Amino acid sequence: MGFDGTELTPALERMLITLQPAGIILFARNITSPQQTFKLLADCQRVIRTPIFSCVDMEGGTVDRLRNVIAPAPSPAKVAHTKDKKLFEKHGRIIGEEVRAVGFNTDFAPVSDLDLPPAHNVLGSRTVSADPKEVVTFVTAFLKGLKSARVFGCGKHFPGLGEANLDTHYELPAINKPFEQQWEQDLYPFRQLKHLFPFVMVAHAGYPAVTGDGTPASISQKWMTDILRKKIGYKGLILTDDLEMQGVLKMGTIEEISVQTMRAGADMFLICHKEDLVWRAYEAILRLAEKDKKFERRIKEASDRVLRLKKAARELKPITTPPDEKVIARLRENIQKFTAEVEAKTPAIA
């Protein structure tokens, strides 16, 4: 869950104590300094009984929540353009060290979508290649870099937004691509990296050629259970993108879609901002689980999977010391040096 504000207020504390969410996600609106970010995450953890997934979207480039408090990191497209695998891994490690220092343990990155023309105006420099094998090379190295910093990565946006010409924050795109083509192209990174992704984030996009209708993958049993779990064999955590996004809210109320995503096979879902929507989704899940035994079993299965990862993960061991100015200065210098290294290795465009 996400929220407004930059500190743990009494109202937020009561909410966290009651809901006991699996994790917290922060955005630029929640971040004013490295030390404040560390304290906010530590305060949230203090009132939650299990180790939290302390989450952030840190890809570099246009999606960089720490650019204003530490330094901007280069985009995935810029780094990928160097064709240097060592820099791919270094990109993940530098971003991992940055987010870890301020208290995060989970980075919803890197984007694993293909760099295809329909999505150029939507995804821009967040994607690295139209070639699925090149995507796998970059993502593998980036994840290795994150892991070396003890940070979880995430595969997103399953089953692929490379053909989406609409922004799922505002609209529900329909990608009418035959499954056989998706299997060889968009799904290739998710198939190849199924053992490396701690999380796979599912997109709010419809795939009529696969489901027969416009149901978003994020509430589709066919996509999450039949294809991702069974056909691909993914065993990690299935997480849906923010349920506040209009791409999925057009399909129903927050109560309806939160229940639908869990029925369809998600282990967790994101609600990134409005606290009233978080409450409403929580209560809808709880009410249905209390009266529907089959749904209760589905929730128990998801919860058990989340708790197993929490129990096993060294990434969730908290850092106890907030970053001092020397640490921040070193991180800033590392990012700036890395940016210069990427610039030096970027081929000139004719």
Catalytic: which of 64, 241, 242, 267? 241
What is the rounded CA–CA span in Å between residue 132 and residue 138? 10
CA dihedral 299, 300, 303, 304 (to 10 degrees): -150
Residue 64, φ and ψ in degrees, nearest 5: -150, 100
Q: Residue 157 burial by CB count (10 A; 0-12/13-18/19+): exposed, middle or buried?
A: buried
What is the rounded CA–CA span in Å between residue 143 and residue 147? 6
Catalytic: which of 169, 213, 304, 324? 169
For the question of residue 241 being annotated catalytic, the response is: yes
For the question of residue 81 being annotated catalytic, the response is: no
Which pair of tokens denotes residue 219? 């509430």
Q: Which residues, 6+ apart, have CB-to-CB distance to 158 below 8 Å?
A: 112, 190, 200, 201, 202, 203, 217, 223, 228
Residue 63 pairs in a beta bridge with 60
DSSP 72-133: PPPPHHHHHTTT-HHHHHHHHHHHHHHHHHTT--EE---B-----GGGHHHHGGG---SSHH
Gyration radius of the chain over CA positions:
19
Q: Which amino acid is at 322?
A: P
Residue 268, φ and ψ in degrees, nearest 5: -150, 160
What are the catalytic residues? Answer: 169, 241
